């Protein structure tokens, strides 16, 4: 009786594994994925979320990175010892398996093809493979399969109903950066759905902590920022990031151009919510923030930062909050804006910028800041 039960479990595992591998094979064969389907910076809408503003940033992630082949981590079996002939052969086989998996990922079919849309039964098999497998190259391929299917609105509901959200979220605990990035991409695509957001909110603190502590400018950090940006499209869960705003400003100041732009998208979502204005003003900002206002900085970075400052300035009534201004500490964004002359000098430093739009935005920001902060001096 016990022997028959063991044979049954082994047979079931083989069937699930074979079915899931076939699903991944279907998804990975063919020509390269069309990036337009999952291009960064989507429509700004959340499924079934009518209160979402089109101005909010909503990032769909494209997990198709041609550089992954050079940076992927190869999983070696325990017996693949360096310096032995058997170990050398085992390591060579492991590298070959990883290479085949990466090439299959890179050759996956276009999302526009009907053959790439997996049925609920096939999605269930892939989820079982994600839950059962411990090999990074198998998890990577399976997560990419889920990520591609999560680009379709109807599949987001199916994956949720199949219990896929906690299965994928569990992968966030892995130490493998490639697998972790793919899991974040899947959750990012699934988060473009109001009900999925309600269930994913329990993972926001973990994603936020992992994003802040990840290697600066890494793929994992960018994927985490995109997920947090999607989760803040509406005002419902923005308060969960209130204690991390200072860290986001630090990332913005220290990161490269891509990291800066992604942080700005997140901060802009927060700045459009009047309820988050006080939390933004309370945040500690690096002293180097003012130095970003120079003509050498990327135009898009300057414009987005000015828009954030304008939104904060519009939402905060300086005269009405005069008695409560002592609650903002030194080095906070409040004092950065309060020191009008210093801020003016920083912004005026790019008045000679060659771009006309930058000049207009700078002039608009300076006029608003002067009007709200010093209304009595203008009388």
Q: Are 197 and 191 in contact (CB under 8 A)?
A: yes
What average pLDDT does this structure show over 228-251?
Answer: 96
Given pLDDT bands bounded at 50, 70 and 90, which one contains residue 241?
Answer: very high
Please state, rounded to an integer, the average pLDDT across all residues of the chain.
76
Given pLDDT bands bounded at 50, 70 and 90, which one contains residue 347?
Answer: low
182: left (phi over 0), alpha (psi -120 to 50) or beta: alpha
Per-residue pLDDT tens over the stretch 208-225: 999 999 999 999 999 999
Q: Give the right CATH number for 235-378 from 1.25.10, 3.30.70, 3.40.50, 1.25.40.
A: 1.25.10
Per-residue pLDDT tens over the stretch 196-209: 999 999 999 999 99
Per-residue pLDDT tens over the stretch 94-106: 777 777 665 555 4
Distance (Å, whole) CA 236 – CA 88: 54
Given pLDDT bands bounded at 50, 70 and 90, which one contains residue 84?
Answer: low
What average pLDDT does this structure show over 115-127?
Answer: 87
pLDDT of residue 337: 82
What average pLDDT does this structure show over 344-361?
Answer: 65
Q: Are 162 and 127 in contact (CB under 8 A)?
A: yes
CA 286 centroid distance within chain: 23
pLDDT of residue 91: 67
* Bridge partners, residue 332, by sequence: 284
pLDDT of residue 378: 44
Rounded alpha-carbon distances, angstroms, from residue 258 to 18, 263, 272: 40, 9, 22
Please indicate whether the domains covering 115-200 and 235-378 agree at the CATH topology level: yes
Beta-carbon contacts of 201 under 8 Å, excluding residues fewer than 6 positions away, are: 231, 237, 240
pLDDT of residue 150: 94
pLDDT of residue 302: 85
- The domain locations on the chain are 115-200, 235-378
Given pLDDT bands bounded at 50, 70 and 90, which one contains residue 140?
Answer: very high
Residue 56: CA count within 13 A, CB half-sphere:
26
**164 vs 346 pLDDT, higher one:** 164
Picking from 10-19, 74-83, 152-161, 166-175, which range would have the lowest pLDDT averaged per residue? 10-19
pLDDT of residue 63: 41
What average pLDDT does this structure show over 310-321?
Answer: 79
pLDDT of residue 149: 94
Q: Is the pLDDT of residue 259 over 60?
A: yes
What average pLDDT does this structure show over 46-52?
Answer: 46
What average pLDDT does this structure show over 270-289?
Answer: 93
What average pLDDT does this structure show over 296-303?
Answer: 83
Q: Is the pLDDT of residue 358 over 80?
A: no
Per-residue pLDDT tens over the stretch 148-170: 999 999 999 999 999 999 999 99
Q: What is the 3-state secondary structure (H, E, C) of 214-248?
A: CCCCCHHHHHHHHHHHHHCCCCCCHHHHHHHHHHH
**115-200 carries CATH number 1.25.10.10:** yes
């Amino acid at each position: 009786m016990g022997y028959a039960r063991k044979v049954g479990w082994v047979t079931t595992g083989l069937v699930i594994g074979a079915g899931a591998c076939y699903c991944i094979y279907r998804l990975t064969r063919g020509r390269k994925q069309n990036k337009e389907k999952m291009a960064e910076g989507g429509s700004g809408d959340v499924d079934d979320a009518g209160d979402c503003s089109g101005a909010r940033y909503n990032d769909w992630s494209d997990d198709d990175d041609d550089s992954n082949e050079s940076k992927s981590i190869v999983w070696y079996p325990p017996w693949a010892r360096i310096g032995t002939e058997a170990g050398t052969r085992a390591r060579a086989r492991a590298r070959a398996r990883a290479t085949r998996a990466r090439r299959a990922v890179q050759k996956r079919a276009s999302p526009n093809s009907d053959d790439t849309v997996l049925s609920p039964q096939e999605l269930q098999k892939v989820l079982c493979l994600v839950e059962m497998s411990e090999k990074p190259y198998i998890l990577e391929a399976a997560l990419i399969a889920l990520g591609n299917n999560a680009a379709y609105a109807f599949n987001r509901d199916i994956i949720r109903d199949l219990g896929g959200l906690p299965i994928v979220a569990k992968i966030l605990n892995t130490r493998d950066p490639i697998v972790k990035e793919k899991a974040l991409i899947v959750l990012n695509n699934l988060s473009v759905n109001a009900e999925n957001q309600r269930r994913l909110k329990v993972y926001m603190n973990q994603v936020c902590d992992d994003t802040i502590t990840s290697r600066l400018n890494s793929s994992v950090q960018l994927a985490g920022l995109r997920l947090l940006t999607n989760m803040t499209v509406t005002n419902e869960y923005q308060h969960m990031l209130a204690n991390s705003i200072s860290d986001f400003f630090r990332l913005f100041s220290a990161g490269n151009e891509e990291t800066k732009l992604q942080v700005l998208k997140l901060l802009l979502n927060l700045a459009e919510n009047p309820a988050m204005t006080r939390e933004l003003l309370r945040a500690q900002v690096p002293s180097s923030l003012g130095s970003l206002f120079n003509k050498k900085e990327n135009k898009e970075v300057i414009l987005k930062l000015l828009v954030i400052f304008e939104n904060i300035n519009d939402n905060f009534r300086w005269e009405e909050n005069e008695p409560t201004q002592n609650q903002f500490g030194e080095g906070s964004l409040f004092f950065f804006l309060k020191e009008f002359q210093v801020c003016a000098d920083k912004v005026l430093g790019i008045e000679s910028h060659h771009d006309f739009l930058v000049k207009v935005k700078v002039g608009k920001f300076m006029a608003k800041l002067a009007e709200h902060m010093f209304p009595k001096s203008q009388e």
